[in-house]
Chains A and B, each alone.
Chain A
Amino acid sequence: MNHETEPNDATESVIVECELAEPPAKVWRALTEPALLASWLMPNDIRPDVGARFTFQAEADAGGGIIACEVLTAEPPHLLRYSWHGADAHRDASDRVLDSVVTFVLTETANGGTHLRLVHDGFPSGALQSVARFASATATVASLEVERARRRDRRSPVANAPARGGLRWVA
């Protein structure tokens, strides 16, 4: 594992970065061909055209149910963005509060490989962001952190792995 965390201004995002030996064109295929994508992510019917709607059949670690997506940007083989509507949101089409966005940025490295940057952000309508921004000025943030640590302690070793990117409570 050589994921790295990069400081960012977002208060609520998940970021994973890594170096891959394969060139961007090959990585792009793994991101956009349904069978290949299914073999590492989840069963899907992706079509990498802007505006195309597709779904993932979410496995348990993604909350189960159906994840509804729409391609927002597709610039092969460098940039792929799609919206990601979690299972809860899908129960009701008008319920958009769980909208988030997944972005893959592929950059060719000097040795012909790929630097992959994955960002999952846009979490619950900026709610956490505004709350975190406000809470950081108060003692509230301390109790939030305590609660967060308490919950994390109950988790499995995998979930306990050091945060890679992730939620930051600084404004």
Chain B
Amino acid sequence: MIEAEVFRALADPTRRAVYERLAGREMTVSELKSGFAISQPAISQHLAALRGAGLVRERRQGRHAYYHIDPRGLAPLLDWIDRYRAFWPKRIEKLKDVLKGMDP
């Protein structure tokens, strides 16, 4: 399920940090790496996970690959919160009815 993939991808603090840096601007892997104390292969692995979850896209230009975030990838998170924004007010209305019907 893509929703779970998105959550899982962003649950890792390093991966989230990678995502945050890319939210600032498009970068190559080596540009990205300069901000982290981890190896380039590790960065690439995080990028692969983020791409797999639809959070990051790759753009190839010549020999270079550039990475940028895709805001639409966050939609599952927004949906998840929206679900509860609809859910709770409805349930609180039901709670009011239940309270009226309870013994003193």
Contact = CB atoms under 8 A, between A and B. Distances in A.
A98 interface: yes
Contacts of B24: 134, 137-138
Contacts of B97: 40
Contacts, number: 148
Given A36-B98, A40-B94, A124-B11, A88 B88 contact: no
A22 to B, nearest CB: 5
Interface of B: 1, 3-4, 7-8, 10-11, 16, 19-20, 23-25, 69, 71-72, 74-75, 77-100, 102, 104
Contact of B81 (A36, A134, A166): A166
Interface in A119-171: 120, 123-125, 127-128, 130-131, 134-135, 137-138, 140, 143-144, 147-148, 151-152, 155, 158-159, 161, 163-167
Contacts of B19: 131
A62 B82 CA distance: 11
A68 interface: no
Nearest to B99: A22
The 4 closest A-B pairs by CB, nearest first: A127-B10, A97-B11, A40-B94, A97-B7
A134 B16 CA distance: 11
A96 B8 CA distance: 9
Interface string A4-36: 000000001010101011100011011000001
A86 to B, nearest CB: 7
Nearest to A163: B85
Given A91-B4, A138-B24, A144 B77 contact: no
